[in-house]
């Protein structure tokens, strides 16, 4: 078994390195730690798990003898009035329960994304929250057409007990689903997105405090506060960072972020930004030895023309697809799960971008001596294909990268994002996360057939090829190019606000 120290040295970024591209340093003035240890980490798979947990925790706080000893900090891209326990359940909706907790004395702090579609709804919710005794704002310190795509909840309990849940899930109608991903679920909102697959992580220990510091960095930054509504005035205290909780588990966590270069509209550090998610993905892909497993909503090679079609240079050499291809050449197996996007005309340019990149990877796998295998699949259950909304990369059963960022320029260098890199000194968590995901997608009752990643790859692709379970092979040969593809991708779908690649 590899030691925790060796795992950290292998997979975590050295944040002191200068001159790397993309930069792998924190933004100026960052308060978060290099990494934390002593964390218990558990997967939270699919929206009902997140929302029922939120309902349970807030209800327990409200009913406690002194609700004022609890704190709940919420960061969401989309926070709406979803029925937390399902449409047929009479329990409070998300907004009502949160307001009720604030009225009871729980210290509620809400930081919603102020992008175009959620700017006013999040401001309206925040004003009502403030009227009930909480704090909140809709945060528009972002470039035009960008968003704060960060999705997490922090729970602070007495006796220095911290819990955080961070990943791909918003508390919203579009994200409510169960692992069965039924065609018709009477508890899933009809005005949601249908079946949808998500992955977040529950963190207990010092890593949850680090997530709270990350929240406070955004809240407390003094620049462009006029772009928050209601406008932020008072800072959040950060003295909790000097009293870290005791060890809760065997996992080490490195927090990773994306902050675009946008000094006019965004934060005090936005002349430099931060791109540690991008840097960490590149680091992991370059060091992979056995396999790379990705679940992603988008999955694009950078730019038009694709980075992999360009000559050697910074643009090509910092592209994730290019380095996935180099990993395949080394004999690394690469397995990817994406949504089919069937029946969605708006997805046509996205599908074209994905298919071209996937064909590049397939060609390497099929024509290079000693190359690893390549497979790309989508889930299909009954009439509807579930939306893959997860943002996950697992490497060699040693590293898990989980959070809000997709494999695309927008997530790596345009919207604000947050991700966690996790390694486990007891060699359990990362493997068990892979097994849990593969068991769900392959509809297995136990993990015996997939304990070995190589055999699991074979079974996963056989499942998809034969169409026996939920998996289907994604068709990468179908053409779907639309007019003005470059303009649509570069300006609207997948823009870039990172360091110069010229």
357 φ, ψ (degrees, to nearest 5)? -65, -40
Does residue 267 form part of some domain?
A: no
Q: Are residues 203 and 54 in the same domain?
A: yes
Q: Do the Cβ atoms of 181 and 385 come closer than 8 Å?
A: no
Same domain, 157 and 230: yes
Question: 117 is written with which tokens?
Answer: 């579609």
At residue 175, what are phi and psi to the nearest 5 degrees? -100, -5
> Which DSSP helix (H) or strand (E) runs through 401?
strand 399-403
Cis ω for the linkage preceding 383 (within 30 of 0): no
The reported pTM is: 0.98
Question: Which of the listed residues 193, 216, 251 is the one where a domain comes to its end?
Answer: 251
Residue 417's SS3 state is: strand
pLDDT of residue 347: 86
Say whether both 336 and 451 belong to one domain. Answer: yes
Q: What count of other Cβ atoms lies within 10 Å of the Cβ of residue 440?
A: 18
Cα dihedral 18, 24, 30, 31, rounded to 10, equals: -110
Domain end, chosen from 251, 285, 300, is at: 251
Per-residue confidence (pLDDT) for residue 469, from 0 to 100:
85
Same domain, residue pair 366 and 457: yes
Query: Rounded to an integer, what distance in angstroms lies between the CA atom of residue 347 and that of residue 387?
Result: 12
Please check whether residue 265 lies inside any domain of the structure: no
Nearest to 222 by CA among 141, 152, 167: 141
Tell me if 21 is assigned to some domain.
Answer: no
DSSP-derived letter for residue 196 is E
Let me know whether 199 and 145 are in one domain.
yes
> Are 58 and 154 part of one and the same domain?
yes
Q: Which two tokens stand for residue 370?
A: 């000693």
Question: In this structure, is residue 444 part of a structural domain?
Answer: yes
State residue 343's pLDDT score.
64
Provide, for the chain, the percentages of residues in helix, strand and coil under a 3-state DSSP scheme, each rounded to the nearest 5.
35, 20, 45
Each residue's pLDDT tens digit, 16-75: 999 999 999 999 999 999 999 999 999 999 999 999 999 999 999 999 999 999 999 999
Split into its structural domains, the chain has a count of 2
Q: Which of 251, 286, 307 is the last residue of a domain?
A: 251
- Which of 47, 46, 45 minimizes the C-alpha distance to 171? 47
CATH number at residue 403: 3.30.870.10
Q: How many CB atoms lie within 10 A of CB 383?
A: 9
Assess whether 242 and 364 both reside in one domain: no
Q: Note whether 93 and 169 are same-domain residues.
A: yes
**Rounded Cα distance, 417 and 420, in Å:** 11
Indicate if 183 and 55 belong to the same structural domain.
yes
219 and 281 together in one domain? no
Ordered per-residue pLDDT tens for the chain, 502 residues = 899 999 999 999 999 999 999 999 999 999 999 999 999 999 999 999 999 999 999 999 999 999 999 999 999 999 999 999 999 999 999 999 999 999 999 999 999 999 999 999 999 999 999 999 999 999 999 999 999 999 999 999 999 999 999 999 999 999 999 999 998 999 999 888 899 999 999 999 999 999 999 999 999 999 999 999 999 999 999 999 999 999 999 999 999 999 999 999 999 999 999 999 999 999 999 999 999 999 999 999 999 999 999 999 999 999 999 999 999 999 999 999 999 987 677 788 999 999 999 999 999 999 999 999 999 999 999 888 999 999 999 999 999 999 999 999 999 999 999 999 999 999 999 999 999 999 999 999 999 999 999 999 999 999 999 988 899 999 999 887 778 999 999 999 999 999 999 8
Residue 159 belongs to a domain: yes
Is 447 a member of any domain? yes
295 lies in the same domain as 216: no
Written as one string, the DSSP assignment of 252-296 is EEEEEEEE-S-TTTS-TTTTT-EEHHHHHHHHHHHH-SSEEEEE-
Range of the domain at 370: 274-493
Q: Does a structural domain hold residue 454?
A: yes
Helix (H, G, I), strand (E, B), or coil: what is residue 406? coil
Same domain membership, residue 431 and residue 321 = yes
Rounded Cα–Cα distance for residues 459 and 450 (Å): 7
Q: Is residue 502 part of a domain?
A: no
Find the angle CA(383)-CA(389)-CA(391) to the nearest 5 degrees.
145
- Which tokens is 368 given? 């290079």
């Amino acid at each position: 078994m590899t030691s925790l120290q060796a795992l950290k040295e292998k997979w975590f970024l050295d944040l002191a390195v200068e001159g790397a591209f993309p930069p792998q340093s924190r933004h100026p003035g960052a308060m978060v730690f290099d990494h934390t240890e002593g964390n218990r980490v558990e997967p939270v798979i699919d929206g009902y798990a997140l929302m029922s947990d939120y309902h349970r925790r807030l209800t327990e706080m409200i009913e406690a003898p002194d609700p004022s000893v609890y704190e709940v900090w919420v960061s969401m891209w989309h926070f709406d009035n979803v029925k937390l326990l399902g449409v047929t359940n009479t329990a409070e909706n998300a907004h009502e329960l949160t307001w009720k907790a604030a009225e009871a004395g729980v210290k509620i702090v809400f930081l919603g994304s102020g992008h175009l579609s959620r700017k006013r709804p999040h401001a309206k919710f925040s004003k009502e929250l403030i009227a009930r005794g909480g704090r909140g704002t809709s945060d528009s310190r972002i470039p035009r057409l960008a968003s704060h795509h960060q999705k997490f909840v922090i729970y602070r309990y007495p006796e220095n007990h911290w819990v955080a849940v961070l990943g791909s899930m918003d508390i919203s109608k579009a994200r409510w689903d169960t692992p069965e991903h039924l065609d018709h679920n009477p508890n899933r909102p009809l005005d949601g997105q249908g079946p949808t697959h998500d992955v977040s992580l529950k963190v207990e220990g010092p890593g949850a405090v680090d997530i709270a510091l990350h929240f406070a960095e955004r809240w407390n930054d003094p620049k462009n506060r006029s772009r928050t509504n209601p406008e932020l005035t008072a800072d959040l205290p950060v003295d909790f960072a000097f009293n870290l909780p005791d060890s809760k588990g065997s996992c080490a966590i490195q927090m990773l972020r994306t902050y675009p270069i946008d000094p006019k509209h965004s934060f005090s550090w936005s002349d430099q930004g931060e791109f540690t998610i991008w840097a960490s993905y590149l680091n992991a892909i370059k060091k992979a030895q056995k396999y790379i497993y990705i679940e992603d909503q988008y999955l694009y090679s950078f730019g038009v023309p694709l980075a992999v079609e360009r000559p050697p240079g910074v643009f090509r050499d910092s592209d994730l697809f290019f380095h996935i291809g180099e990993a395949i050449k080394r004999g690394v197996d690469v397995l990817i799960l994406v949504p089919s996007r069937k029946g969605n005309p708006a997805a046509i340019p996205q599908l074209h971008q994905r298919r071209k990149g996937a064909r590049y990877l397939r060609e390497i796998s099929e024509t290079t001596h000693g190359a690893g295998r390549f497979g790309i699949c989508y889930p299909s259950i009954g009439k509807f294909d579930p939306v893959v909304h997860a943002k996950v990369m697992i490497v060699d059963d040693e590293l898990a990268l989980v959070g809000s960022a997709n494999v695309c320029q927008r997530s790596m260098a345009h919207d604000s994002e947050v991700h966690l890199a996790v390694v486990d000194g007891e060699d359990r968590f990362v493997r068990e996360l892979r097994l849990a995901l593969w068991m769900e997608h392959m509809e297995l009752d136990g993990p015996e057939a997939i304990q070995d990643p190589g055999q699991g790859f074979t079974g996963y692709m056989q499942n998809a090829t034969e169409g026996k379970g939920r998996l289907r092979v994604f068709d990468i040969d179908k053409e779907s190019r639309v007019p003005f593809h470059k303009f649509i991708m570069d300006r609207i779908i997948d823009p870039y606000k990172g360091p110069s690649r010229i």
